[in-house]
Structure 1
Amino acid sequence: MNFDEYCQQKSGSPGSGTYYVLKRAPIAHQPLLSALFALRQEFEESVKEVSDPAIGRTKLAWWQKEMAALAEGSPTHPVSLALAAHSDGSQTIYPALQTWLAGYAMDFEQARYPDYAHLQRYLRQVGGTFATLVARVTAHEPDLAGNWAAASGEALMLAQFVEELGSDARRGRIYLPIDEMQRFNVTAADLINRRYSDAFNALMQFQATRARDALFAARDAFPAEEQKRQGVLRAQIALALALLDEIERDGYRVLHQRVALTPIRKLWITWRSSSSFWR
């Protein structure tokens, strides 16, 4: 298996949202985008798939060294090799990769956020940086991509927090601000023990509405000359909006399950997202 094949498998299996999202990119750009999505999966697994924080920190430390090796021209991991082969210059994206990885390290610094202002730092470093890296690949003006793309990544993370609330809570991480949970009279124990209530539904409606509004605002902020170039981000936003609608229809039953769209719906939504009538 070569590094491109590794990235294709790591980024998203057939039928996954990422699989269909990447199909919205020009063929020439798909290898680099697959590498970025694969790297995101590697980072997330280093944080979310470990029960011992010491092991997670060790994995992230290894990735810090690997990103430095990428910038120096001596990467060893298949994802890093793909980034080196397909990016214009590894040193160009290295600062963003450092910022991105530092965002994931925040998961080992704190499991709760007192208010939305504190959560936004995490959103910017993880979601905003990733979306900017993705946008740069096909952007008309790559150096300006961060001005409008970062908001997409932050909004996508807000939607992800709603989708993965139950599984995140069972891993000891709750990305809903403490003051908002207190306002709606929902406790961490309620989430961990899967206690549904009217108060929980009200909290989730608030979270879903904020995520939905952020997704619409981020999508509408794309410059006119970038609209057709950003098929990947547009497809991600479309999928996130559809999933939020599905979660809402299901009564916010996200504590004991992960609500998902069928592959055929993902295919249809991502195709439609790149058409001129999707606004």
Structure 2
Amino acid sequence: MSPDEYCQEKAAKSGSSFYYSFLFLPQERRRAITALYAFCREVDDAVDETSDSGVAATKLAWWRKEISAMLAGAPTHPVTLALQPHMARYALEGRHLQAIIDGMEMDLTQTRYLDYPGLQKYCWHAAGVVGILSASIFGASNPATLQYAEKLGLAFQLTNIIRDVGEDARKGRIYLPVNELQQFQVTAADLLNARYNDNFVRLMQFQADRAREAYREAFALLAPEDRRSQRPGLIMAAIYQTLLDEIEHDRFQVLQQRISLTPIRKLWLAWKTWVRG
């Protein structure tokens, strides 16, 4: 199996909305974004699929060294072998890859966030920086487009947090800011024990409204001349905003289930957004 085939299999297996967003890209850009996505999956899995935090930290430390080795021209892993040729071509920076690992390390050391600014920092590492790298691969000619991508990454991560509230709580992680839980009189025990009530719905509506504002702010930053090249990000936005609509329509029944869109619906949204241009 070639490095590109390894990354393709890693991406396809995930079933992520991210995968649908780059189906229509030209081959070279598709190979680059697939390699980037496979890297994100590898470091995310190092944390989420490892019960021992010490082992997870060791895995992340290995990935840090592997990124440095790749930048020095000596990658050893299929993902870094696939990613290396695209680093210079699309002006990708190693510090951004290391920042993604920083976000994974935050999941090992921090399970609560006191306020929204603290959560924003985590979201930048987990998704904002991925947006910057992705926009560079798609083709950004205006610096404002990278700001758009960074803000769009924040919107995606806020949507993920809403979708995964119950699942994350059962893993011992609560991303909803502590001061906002207190504001809406929702406790950590309420989340862990799936106590669904009006206070919880109001709290989640507040989170959804903030996510929608992040989408609006992102779209306002997208330079018109880059709109066509950034269609993969717009595909992701169409899928994620539709997901947010579904969650809201179900009145935030996210404590005991994971609301998702079917693959055919994601594909339809991807195609419709792509042809719209």
TM-score bucket of the superposed structures, by smaller chain:
over 0.9
Indicate how the Cα distance of structure 1 residues 9 and 226 shifts in structure 2: closer, same or farther if over 3 A, else same.
Answer: same
Matched, 1:186 2:203: no
Q: Whole-Å Cα distance in 1 between the matches of residues 17 and 222 of structure 2? A: 22
In the TM superposition, residue 246 of structure 1 has moved relative to its aligned partner by 0.7
* Ranges in structure 1 where 5+ consecutive residues have no aligned partner: none
Give the alignment's TM-score, normalised by structure 1: 0.93
SS of 1:212 mapped into structure 2: helix
1:160-171 paired onto structure 2 within 5 Å: 160-171=160-171
In structure 1, what is the equivalent of residue 57 of structure 2? 57
SS of 2:13 mapped into structure 1: coil
1:138-177 paired onto structure 2 within 5 Å: 138-141=138-141, 145-177=145-177
Aligned residue-pair number: 277
In the TM superposition, residue 219 of structure 1 has moved relative to its aligned partner by 2.4
1:225-244 paired onto structure 2 within 5 Å: 225-244=225-244
Q: Whole-Å Cα distance in 1 between the matches of residues 20 and 184 of structure 2? A: 37
In the TM superposition, residue 91 of structure 1 has moved relative to its aligned partner by 8.7
Deviates more, 1:247-256 or 1:177-186: 247-256
Letter paired with 2:242: A
Residues 99 and 129, structure 1, Cα contact 8 Å, conserved in 2: yes
Residues 184 and 199, structure 1, Cα contact 8 Å, conserved in 2: yes
In structure 2, what is the equivalent of residue 18 of structure 1? 18
Show CA shifts across 1:63-91 (max 9, x none): 10111111111111111110013332699
In structure 2, what is the equivalent of residue 214 of structure 1? 214
In structure 2, what is the equivalent of residue 45 of structure 1? 45
Give the alignment's TM-score, normalised by structure 2: 0.94
In the TM superposition, residue 272 of structure 1 has moved relative to its aligned partner by 1.9
Letter paired with 2:57: R
Residues 4 and 31, structure 1, Cα contact 8 Å, conserved in 2: yes
1:121-132 paired onto structure 2 within 5 Å: 121-132=121-132
1:108-127 paired onto structure 2 within 5 Å: 108-127=108-127
In structure 2, what is the equivalent of residue 264 of structure 1? 264
Q: Whole-Å Cα distance in 2 between the matches of residues 186 and 70 of structure 1? A: 46
Deviates more, 1:90-99 or 1:183-192: 90-99
In the TM superposition, residue 23 of structure 1 has moved relative to its aligned partner by 0.9
Show CA shifts across 1:37-85 (max 9, x none): 1111112112222222111111111110111111111111111110013
In structure 2, what is the equivalent of residue 68 of structure 1? 68
Aligned Cα root-mean-square deviation (Å): 1.9
Identity %: 42
Residues 70 and 90, structure 1, Cα contact 8 Å, conserved in 2: no
Indicate how the Cα distance of structure 1 residues 208 and 133 shifts in structure 2: closer, same or farther if over 3 A, else same.
Answer: same
Residues 113 and 177, structure 1, Cα contact 8 Å, conserved in 2: yes
Indicate how the Cα distance of structure 1 residues 115 and 15 shifts in structure 2: closer, same or farther if over 3 A, else same.
Answer: closer
SS of 1:274 mapped into structure 2: helix
Letter paired with 2:37: F
Q: Whole-Å Cα distance in 2 between the matches of residues 89 and 140 of structure 1? A: 13
Letter paired with 2:170: R
Q: Whole-Å Cα distance in 1 between the matches of residues 51 and 17 of structure 2? A: 26
